[in-house]
Amino acid sequence: MKKINILCLKCMLVSSALIFTGCWDKVEIEDRAFVVAIGIDKAMDKDSLDELEVVTIEPSVDSLENKSSDKMSYSKIGNGKTVSLALNRIDMYSSKRQYLGHTKVAILGEKILKDPKMLSETLDGFQRNSEISNKLLILATDKNIEKILDAKIKGEPMAGLFLSNFYQNRENNSGVTFKKDLDSVLEDTQLNNTTIIPKVSLEDKDLRLGGSAIIKDYRLLGWLDNKDTRGYVWVNDNAKNTELITKLDNIDTTLLVESHKKKMNFKKLDNDILVANIDIDISGSIKNYALGSKNLYNQNNLNKLENLYSKIVKSEINTTFRKLQSEYNVDIFNFLKTIEKQNYDLYLEIKDNWNYYYNNMQIVPNVNVNIRNIGSVY
């Protein structure tokens, strides 16, 4: 009996050694270069015309230790036929291996956005890379990706963290931009080969968020400006904290959107025209007017303001839709997907001839604005 107990004890010790021993192929944390942001574009060197240029941003030792330093991050550049090959080339000249498990942001340059093969292969590589999260923030730019990622932002350690925190810590994005992650881009492209990506740009060395890139069949069709992008956001995203500005008695009057709800329904007319009714309910508070004026205490003036704000939203939605329909011929509003969820019989009836129905489609924005607070002046 004693021999059996000793044998069992030995088995337990061997099992414990196998279970609790660390992985033989692990990489120590000090041997990893933690990439915060990555930028990808088509290389323009004459010897690398068919390759990608990949820029990675990693924090400096001082930033990791919360020390003040003029250099809070470092950029590294590598070229390759794929993102993984470019990263391997970067690793060849570094003592640490690039690690993408904590990468927050990927910025795609205009040249790769115009190359369907490179763009589709890059997105596929992102999807297959076990280190990269599907929540990776995707942005587009028509500027130099290295300059974007190296931009200095007052009060922020590095551009990559600023961009990540901007979208993560805000309930909204002021109407002119929106959050788009890798999972959403992949879903869009797999659904109807189109997607929309928020734009980041550089003006006088300052980062600017606003506008968007329209992608169809993995190719950049064009850019939407801030106003057109807001027309998209009213229908497809959350426009809370967007500011609307109009004039009352020739005085600029600002409404801060505090609640934004939308609903769509569709019907097919006898003449085979598809009509989308888009109901938008907005409520908010007046944040700017003339000190000492009593005009806002007049209900007729409030009604007038509500109608003016409503017209602005309707105009932006209509303008964006016309551009997407006529100029780009893309269903970025995802109308067909919404029809499939709401009215499957109608979806089955129109899906095989969607181009015809979309090209002849009419939209009716019904916008209701409610001013529920005119603010307090002490």
| Mean pLDDT of the residues in the chain | 84
Give yes or no for residue 75 having a pLDDT over 50. yes
pLDDT digits (tens, 9 = 90+) for 116-161: 999 999 999 999 999 999 999 999 999 999 899 888 887 777 888 8
Share of the chain above pLDDT 70, in %: 83
Tokens encoding 27: 């990489």
What homologous superfamily is domain 238-378 in, according to CATH?
Answer: Nutrient germinant receptor protein C, domain 3 (3.30.300.210)
For the range 27-30, what are the long-range contacts, defined as Cβ-Cβ under 8 Å and sequence gap of 24 or more? 27/97, 27/99
Q: How many CB atoms lie within 10 A of CB 167?
A: 19
What span, in angstroms and rounded, lies between the C-alpha atoms of 175 and 208? 14
CB-CB contact of 120 with 53 (8 Å): no
What span, in angstroms and rounded, lies between the C-alpha atoms of 6 and 72? 58
User: In the prediction, which pLDDT does 356 show?
Assistant: 95
Strands 274-288 and 362-373, bridge-based pairing: parallel
Averaged over 90-107, what is the pLDDT?
A: 84
18 in the Ramachandran plot: left (φ > 0), alpha (ψ -120 to 50) or beta?
A: alpha
**Interacting residues of 104 by C-beta distance below 8 A, sequence separation 6+:** 36, 37, 136, 137, 160, 161, 163, 164
pLDDT digits (tens, 9 = 90+) for 322-370: 999 999 999 999 999 999 999 999 999 999 999 999 999 999 999 999 9
Averaged over 159-175, what is the pLDDT?
A: 77
pLDDT digits (tens, 9 = 90+) for 219-256: 999 999 999 999 999 998 778 888 999 988 888 888 99
Task: Enumerate the domain spans of the chain.
Answer: 30-224, 238-378
Q: How many CB atoms lie within 10 A of CB 32?
A: 15
Axis crossing angle, helix 335-342 with helix 182-192, rounded to the nearest 10: 80
Averaged over 275-294, what is the pLDDT?
A: 83
User: In the prediction, which pLDDT does 46 show?
Assistant: 61
Higher pLDDT, 267 or 251: 267
User: In the prediction, which pLDDT does 38 show?
Assistant: 92
H or E element at residue 222: strand 219-224
CB-CB contact of 189 with 218 (8 Å): yes
Strands 105-109 and 137-141, bridge-based pairing: parallel
CA atoms within 13 A on the CB side of 111: 16
User: In the prediction, which pLDDT does 24 show?
Assistant: 43
- The alpha-carbon radius of gyration of the chain (Å, integer) is 26
User: In the prediction, which pLDDT does 191 show?
Assistant: 84
**Interacting residues of 99 by C-beta distance below 8 A, sequence separation 6+:** 27, 32, 33, 34, 35, 131
Q: How many CB atoms lie within 10 A of CB 200?
A: 25
User: In the prediction, which pLDDT does 56 show?
Assistant: 84
Axis crossing angle, helix 116-128 with helix 182-192, rounded to the nearest 10: 130
The helix/strand/coil state of 124 is helix
User: In the prediction, which pLDDT does 226 show?
Assistant: 94
Question: Residue 195: which of 208, 212, 209, 211 has the closest Cα?
Answer: 212
**Interacting residues of 334 by C-beta distance below 8 A, sequence separation 6+:** 188, 191, 192, 236
Evaluated on CA atoms 339, 340, 346, 348, the torsion sign reads positive
Which of 17-21, 59-63, 178-182, 304-308 shows the lowest per-residue confidence on average (mean pLDDT)?
17-21
Question: Residue 262: which of 286, 285, 231 has the closest Cα?
Answer: 231
- Residue 377: pLDDT band (50, 70, 90) is very low
Question: Residue 53: which of 75, 23, 71 has the closest Cα?
Answer: 75
